[in-house]
Amino acid sequence: MQHSYPHCWRCKKPIIFRSTEQWFISMEKNDLRKKALAAINEVQWIPSWGSDRIYGMVENRPDWCISRQRLWGVPITVYYCAKCKAEVLTKEMLDYLVALVEKGGADIWFEKDAKDLMPKGSVCPHCKSTEFIKETNILDVWFDSGVTHAAVLEKRPDLRSPADMYLEGSDQHRGWFHSSLLESVGTRGRAPYLSVLTHGFVVDGEGKKMSKSIGNTIEPQEVIEKYGAEILRLWVAAEDYTDDIRISEEILKRLVEAYRRIRNTGRFILGNLYDFNPDKDLIAYEKMEEMDKWALHRLQEIIKRVGDAYDRYQFHVVFYTLYNYCTVDLSALYLDVLKDRLYTTKSGSTARRSGQSAMFIILKAMTRLLAPVFTFTAEEIWNTMPAWKDKEASVHLARLPQTDELYSNSSLGDAWKTMIDARAEIAKALEQARKDKVIGHSLDARVSIGAPEKMKNLFESHLEDLRALLIVSQLQIVPENQITNPYKSEEIKGLVVGVEKARGEKCERCWVYSESLGKDKDHPKVCDRCLANL
């Protein structure tokens, strides 16, 4: 018959169990358990399941054995009478010892005899003996770590107690979080922290524990040297730390690509603010183009979502919100549509300055939102932005942006959401026309739309905005029966789209087709719109 038997982890020899006297902290004396459980409920636990985990541990734990039989550590400073063997520790003895330790360190307990660590004339209160011996046990190391709140926070005037946050791996519900809680509740009557954040452990790309023997470790310095500190910080922020955190070359390469897209968005905006002076050229909101107003409304939604995520320490939500904002809302939509206005209208026109004003406001807010994660990139963008009155010397001296009611417009947001949703469906019809060789580029198209009454009214009142949004040359809203080869949307009921070759000729300046080319002898291949901007 075979059975398992405990062995020493270091020398691999079988362990012999021997019962000896130990020092304990009672969980019931002075209602320590009850008070600790109450204190748990006063703390913010991130993620929330941390509360249940530590509550169950404290609720069911035995008394805490705090003594260890080792040669060196933090001593248990108790004396024993050499004659009657009683434990002896008076306030006078303790104060005397504290003064010695402050001068010579805790090792003095091991270096000197008991008589040299006590006030002269010390006697046993039980038998009046003057001979003493020292306790040889040391404190559990978790007791050592559990007093950090007192040793660190209460000894420095620039810090405050309790701590705003304790942050460690999930194993510390049984360790540091636990011992700190019991010691603080027992001595201060409260938890040593206001909040506790727990994170998982770093594992390889397949979710396996990292080990040098396996060869699947990745050193932080290697990542910094290859990709830069910005990517290492981005990796930390992009992962959901409430679970184990994976890292691999493939994961890092994906983050490099994501970083590049965010950086390029900032780069594009900066490139189009080269002649913009915020103190002179900023257009008042009421004079802005409607699409620019939508962009600022969308920015308020992003500021709210990112701000809330920072408050909840959900840094992966911060990253993915800003990444999607840069790639979907800005690069693939707003900035793509805005190019026509930026490149074809007069440099000082209200239409162009409106777009620049919106981009400036967006970049100013976005850079501050990025700053805690994209530390160097945000600073680089901030320093490259055009100067304005009272501009902070560093983005890290600027406060995170708050939502601005001036730019929040839910009805406008709803209207543009309808048009943007329709844009996605109309893009399918344009793609089919491209495959059928009807058009090459979207600007080659004349689009006819049939839509339900409410949507039709919206489109008709925003005809030029919708044309610009679709990046087509011509657009008309017509009854469904007037559309040839219709594309019927499966996503938006009643939306019907027809695509044909645009009428007229292509303007050499803006590439938009027009039937008015040739009117000007000096510029025969330029459309009326461009002529007005020359």
Burial (CB < 10 A; 0-12, 13-18, 19+), residue 196, is: buried
The answer to whether the bond into 162 is cis (omega within 30° of 0) is yes
Residue 359 tokens, joined = 């981009």
Helices 176-188 and 49-60, interaxial angle, to 10°? 70
Per residue in 58-72, is it b (16+ CB within 10 Å) or e — as a string?
beeeeebebbbeeee
The answer to whether the bond into 47 is cis (omega within 30° of 0) is yes
- Residue 211, pLDDT score: 79
- State the Cα–Cα distance between residues 412 and 286, nearest whole angstrom: 13
Tell me the pLDDT of the chain (534 aa) as tens digits: 788 889 998 899 999 988 889 999 999 999 999 999 999 999 999 999 999 999 999 999 999 999 999 988 999 999 999 999 999 999 999 999 999 999 989 999 999 999 999 999 899 999 999 999 999 999 999 999 999 999 999 989 999 999 999 999 989 999 999 999 999 999 999 999 999 999 999 888 888 888 787 878 888 999 999 999 999 999 999 999 999 999 999 999 999 999 999 999 999 999 999 999 999 999 999 999 999 999 999 999 999 999 999 999 999 999 999 999 999 999 999 999 999 999 999 999 999 999 999 999 999 999 999 999 999 999 999 999 999 999 999 999 999 999 999 999 999 999 999 999 999 999 999 999 999 999 999 999 999 999 999 999 999 999 999 999 999 999 999 999 999 889 999 999 999 999 999 999 999 999 999 988 878 788 889 998 988 888
Q: Which domains are assigned to the chain?
A: 24-65+145-199 (no CATH), 77-136 (1.10.10.830), 250-397 (1.10.730.20), 422-503 (3.30.2320.20)
- Residue 505, pLDDT score: 94
Rounded (10°) CA dihedral 225, 319, 357, 266: 20
- Residue 355, pLDDT score: 98
- Residue 97, pLDDT score: 95
- State the Cα–Cα distance between residues 60 and 251, nearest whole angstrom: 41
Contact status, residue 37 vs residue 58, Cβ threshold 8 Å: yes
- State the Cα–Cα distance between residues 267 and 357, nearest whole angstrom: 16
pTM of the entire predicted model: 0.86
Q: Which residues contact 145 (CB under 8 A, 6 or more apart)?
A: 175, 176, 179, 180
- Residue 218, pLDDT score: 85
- State the Cα–Cα distance between residues 353 and 282, nearest whole angstrom: 7
* Alpha helices (H) in 197-289, listed in sequence order: 220-227, 229-238, 249-271, 278-281
- Residue 209, pLDDT score: 87
